[in-house]
Structure 1
Amino acid sequence: MRVMVLVKATEDSEKGFFPTPETNEMMEAMGRFNDELRSAGILLDADGLKPSSLGKRVAFDGPGRTVIDGPFAETRELVAGFWLWDVKDMDEAVAWVKRCPNPMPGPSEIEIRPLYEMADLQ
């Protein structure tokens, strides 16, 4: 079962990444966690996203397309980073997320979403 594990954005992550002793320590802890995921054969891909102020959205309405420049409202609904994992089931994904170091300096959330597989679409 493949899942996308979404690190939700915070006000801090929307300000951008600035190396400090605290962020460097956090990145080292996350690097060790990613190494564990790799060793367990779970990690397929992972990365962090730049703030939404550097992003764009494209809104679709029939044949029309409208480009919307960031930043986007509702920071708590944005994504700051992701992993793509191949796990046995959702329980295994939850167990791994519980082992994850806090990805942000303050309170944060991680969302786990299963991907559609070909068998789901038949």
Structure 2
Amino acid sequence: MTRYMLILRSTPEAEKAMENVDFNDVIEAMGRYNEELIKAGVLLAGEGLAGPEDGFVVDFDSDTPVVTDGPYTEAKELFNGFWMLGVSSIEEAKQWARKCPLGPGARLEVRRVTETEEFPQDNEWVQKELKWKKEGVWQ
């Protein structure tokens, strides 16, 4: 099994396109998609995010990180949620991504999740991560 994260990104165009859409229709479409993922046995996790007004950004450009409360006026796309899939191949991840019920202006960024085994196994922190995962502290 290879894990892929489908990252939902929204643009101003997507938000405008959603202005006249019944939110119940959105919930139904997402619910059906999630149910299909569950029935196929590929959904590992998934969550939506609250709006940017409830968040903040930490900028590490200076010696002391600077925290800026949302909303983020400079952002062209917002990260609005994600799905974590466990699939057999990148092709399967692409198939599921194409089925996502999103509209104009929305985007899915799909990224493979690295596995601990891909890192140097003699590294102290890699060994700790493997131990944490075995203990169930970290999934």
TM-score (norm 1): 0.81
Inter-partner Cα distance in structure 1 for 2:15 and 2:92: 30
1:84 maps to 84
Q: Does the 8 Å contact 2:53/2:69 carry over to 1? A: yes
Paired residue secondary structure (1:75): coil
Structure number with bigger Rg: 2
Deviation of the 1:119 alpha carbon: 2.1
1:3 aligns with 2:8: no
2:99 maps to 99
1:44 maps to 44
Paired residue secondary structure (2:60): strand
Paired residue secondary structure (1:95): helix
Q: What is the alpha-carbon root mean square deviation over aligned residues?
A: 2.5
Any residues of structure 2 matched to 1:1-122 within 5 Å, and which? 1-11=2-12, 22-60=22-60, 64-72=64-72, 73-76=74-77, 78-102=78-102, 104=103, 106-122=104-120
Tell me the amino acid that sits aligned with residue 24 of structure 1. Answer: N
Q: Does the 8 Å contact 2:11/2:76 carry over to 1? A: yes
Q: Does the 8 Å contact 1:3/1:115 carry over to 2? A: yes
Inter-partner Cα distance in structure 1 for 2:3 and 2:89: 8
Unaligned 5+ residue runs, structure 1?
A: none
Deviation of the 1:14 alpha carbon: 6.7
TM-score (norm 2): 0.72
Tell me the amino acid that sits aligned with residue 30 of structure 1. Answer: M
Inter-partner Cα distance in structure 1 for 2:10 and 2:21: 20
Paired residue secondary structure (1:80): strand
Q: Does the 8 Å contact 1:13/1:80 carry over to 2? A: no
Inter-partner Cα distance in structure 2 for 1:61 and 1:79: 21
Aligned length: 117
Inter-partner Cα distance in structure 2 for 1:12 and 1:49: 19
